[in-house]
Chain A
């Protein structure tokens, strides 16, 4: 069963191209989970998570982006410049960090695509930028993001020449809520003492949901979960929480590094998919409002709240860890990721004080080098936890 997911993980470009040809529909790439995927889905467009490639050297991006920038985003932009993502019909950029917000500019420069204009007005730009707020709570933020999403929806409607009705949005929300349900079930199973799903496999399942059509993924999940429930428990492993950025098909190797050292990731906060399916979309309010509310509950390292004494990230992570029986935390942070690095010392201290668990910090250069370097550090950390 896992082989379907494996196939999508390893051949994502080809799979999306085939899906487009078979269905005669469009596919949009998006850079961050603040993107209202449900609007794309309701418009008949396949939302596809854009990631880096792991390829070296980065010759194209070097002419436009300095080295002192997130290596994952540099890799992604280099792939765009090489044409790896030319099969996409549009790109959605959110203000999800300093470098991501600038990708509107970089993507236009590195991968120019002409879209129709009328009297010089772009009807639906190839690169769509959503000025997502940094603050996800407090007065006015709902109305603000609703304003942004309305503009986004209008662009998608002009692209497809079809109206995205509330009915279509509600249908999309139903599919996405089923997905969130499956993910929550899988994550609940991971917390179980029987350890029936290795972290690496769970990551693959979660990651491919960002590439596959959600309805197709949902159907696969039904049989996958059934198969997992019937599995024999895994051998004992040290239970680890993984917090990291830029974990994709390439850097997912970090899961294997941890497993080979005798650990198992049973919960994570990795900013790929896990950050947005913690709860379902409210079906009792108008769908656009519900999608806005859902995105305003993304507690990623970039977002902040209106709390006078902020500890939102800690509380969010602690909630995720309930019942996970974690023994240690591993932070796998890309170089130049200021949002993740700046929260680390506080989280490390509070993990120790409030959860009684130690932390390991690994810096990722989004290359094989830092993955290789991680091996001995993870081994020593797991050994310490076992002692």
Chain B
């Protein structure tokens, strides 16, 4: 696992709005510490849970997953000295010494190690404020349930898991009324194959998911004494809906050639939408981003001047070395799109029954369009993305420490190549634990892949 220390760097940003993200992030952590100091309850939450309920019930959420990203980018006391290992590695070593396996998600190992140090403040940005409650979900992966449960056990904090049915159908689920293209399956049908099925969501799935949300409300009320206020909840959901419509517009703008915004920026600007959705500040951010992208598309400004090939990125991000997203630019290649963290159309607003609305949205998300949940769905999402964003190749994150991300990679590579002639190359490593990254192997693969794509483009 231990290799020669690789050269790592942040990505080069193309978008002005993307440069606003770091101050936005710092402001969020400062606000969380401030909230704690003022006696407001702080919830440690899994990132994938919709946040509107937290705002409506006056909690301040922080996210161990996101904090782990910071530890993957920063060194102790903010030093830039490359001989000092990044905080993620320091914390991961502590977790591993306590018995947690090296194959576990780097986020989990980092946050567990951070907690096990016994001093939450000795970490980037002053650390995380101590939680008053911890909330997670069963959706996406098994690990986030057990990891946050361990943190709750270790910190002796009340814990809640929002259980979501893990849908196993091969076709993505959208809410009733929406249509979706199922490209891999069209090809199967053309070949005469008929092994292609879809089960609509049953009533008991909707009822159970809604009950899980209602129980979360009770949990928050019991632990904090804060009461649920439907009007405030609707206000947050209104903002979420409007923000998501902006994000959908942004996704459309990103289809332009040359690509007005690449994956390096895409993985950066997701922060307000993933972690602060349902707030005015998130809405304002995407409004600025939309305006900037409109201008860039109108002026024909791209990440690089002359695109020779466009790439699709599949997976989360190697946060410790985001410069990889600029690597192909010297070959005329640009990472055009990443089908992760980007939302699909939300169900229509239902102000009279916002819990039902959120239930449908949650099941829609668990259907695989924004996260690599079930394999058939992940393949479908990738193939659609490759077509829409005109990508001639894909880089697949063999995220060796994340089962849901790594499982579908072989099938995605196979279907992209066999059915659609789209080649791919793997990047094998963890998200933040740079000990797992082999620079020589990665760059050699990338060079060969770039040459292959250039030859095809001739």
Question: What is the interface of chain A, defined by CB distance below 8 A to chain B?
Answer: 63-66, 68-69, 93, 95, 97-99, 101-102, 104-106, 108-109, 112, 117, 120, 122, 125, 129, 131, 133-135, 138-141, 143-144, 146-148, 151, 301-302, 304, 306-311, 335-336, 338-339, 341-346, 348, 361, 363
Q: What are the nearest 6 A-B pairs in CB distance?
A: A147-B204, A140-B211, A144-B208, A134-B138, A342-B146, A135-B163
Q: Give Cα A346–Cα B403 distance, bound, in whole angstroms.
A: 22
> By the criterion CB–CB under 8 Å, are A308 and B150 in contact?
no
Contacting B403 at CB < 8 Å: which of A138, A140, A310, A338? A338
Contacting B153 at CB < 8 Å: which of A99, A122, A346, A361? A346
Contacting B168 at CB < 8 Å: which of A63, A95, A304, A361? A95
**At the interface, yes or no: B194 with Cβ under 8 Å from chain A?**
yes
Query: Which of chain B's residues have a CB closer than 8 A to the CB of A68?
Result: 103, 398, 400-401, 403, 406
Encode contact with A along B214-242: 1 for CB under 8 Å, 0 otherwise. Answer: 01000100110000000000000000000
Contacting A64 at CB < 8 Å: which of B401, B403, B411? B411
Q: Give Cα A348–Cα B375 distance, bound, in whole angstroms.
A: 35
Encode contact with A along B18-52: 1 for CB under 8 Å, 0 otherwise. Answer: 00000000000000000000000000000000000
> By the criterion CB–CB under 8 Å, are B215 and A306 in contact?
yes
Contacting A310 at CB < 8 Å: which of B98, B153, B208? B153
**In the complex, which residues 43-71 of chain B have their Cβ closer than 8 Å to any Cβ of chain A?**
none
Query: Which of chain B's residues have a CB closer than 8 A to the CB of A338?
Result: 101, 103-104, 141-143, 146, 403
Q: Give Cα A143–Cα B156 distance, bound, in whole angstroms.
A: 31
Seed contacts A63-B414, A66-B406, A122-B197; 16 additional CB < 8 Å A-B pairs: A66-B409, A68-B103, A69-B406, A95-B165, A97-B142, A135-B138, A135-B163, A135-B212, A141-B208, A147-B203, A301-B146, A304-B138, A306-B160, A309-B152, A309-B153, A338-B143
Query: Which of chain B's residues have a CB closer than 8 A to the CB of A135?
Result: 138, 161, 163, 212
Given A120-B194, A140-B208, A345–B161 Cβ distance below 8 Å? no
> By the criterion CB–CB under 8 Å, are B203 and A308 in contact?
no
Which residue on chain A has the smallest CB distance to residue B219?
A308
Q: Give Cα A104–Cα B153 distance, bound, in whole angstroms.
A: 33
> By the criterion CB–CB under 8 Å, are B404 and A361 in contact?
no
> By the criterion CB–CB under 8 Å, are A105 and B170 in contact?
yes
> By the criterion CB–CB under 8 Å, are A310 and B149 in contact?
yes
**At the interface, yes or no: B352 with Cβ under 8 Å from chain A?**
no
> By the criterion CB–CB under 8 Å, are A102 and B375 in contact?
yes
Q: Give Cα A135–Cα B406 distance, bound, in whole angstroms.
A: 25
> By the criterion CB–CB under 8 Å, are B208 and A133 in contact?
yes
Query: Which of chain B's residues have a CB closer than 8 A to the CB of A108?
Result: 170, 195
B30–chain A nearest beta-carbon distance, Å: 30
B125–chain A nearest beta-carbon distance, Å: 26
Given A304-B149, A338-B146, A66–B410 Cβ distance below 8 Å? yes
**At the interface, yes or no: B166 with Cβ under 8 Å from chain A?**
yes
- 10 CB < 8 A contacts A-B: A66-B409, A101-B166, A102-B407, A112-B195, A131-B166, A134-B166, A304-B138, A342-B100, A342-B150, A361-B99
> By the criterion CB–CB under 8 Å, are A66 and B150 in contact?
no
Query: Which of chain A's residues have a CB closer than 8 A to the CB of B129?
Result: none
> By the criterion CB–CB under 8 Å, are B166 and A95 in contact?
yes
Q: Give Cα A194–Cα B411 distance, bound, in whole angstroms.
A: 53
Q: Give Cα A343–Cα B104 distance, bound, in whole angstroms.
A: 12
**At the interface, yes or no: B444 with Cβ under 8 Å from chain A?**
no
B424–chain A nearest beta-carbon distance, Å: 14
> By the criterion CB–CB under 8 Å, are A134 and B404 in contact?
no
> By the criterion CB–CB under 8 Å, are B141 and A342 in contact?
no
Query: Which of chain A's residues have a CB closer than 8 A to the CB of B156?
Result: 309
Query: Which of chain B's residues have a CB closer than 8 A to the CB of A131?
Result: 165-168, 205
> By the criterion CB–CB under 8 Å, are A99 and B161 in contact?
no
Query: Which of chain B's residues have a CB closer than 8 A to the CB of A344?
Result: 99-100
**At the interface, yes or no: B367 with Cβ under 8 Å from chain A?**
no
**At the interface, yes or no: B159 with Cβ under 8 Å from chain A?**
yes
Given A134-B163, A141-B163, A341-B100, A336–B403 Cβ distance below 8 Å? yes
Q: Give Cα A335–Cα B403 distance, bound, in whole angstroms.
A: 12
Contacting B160 at CB < 8 Å: which of A64, A301, A308, A342? A308
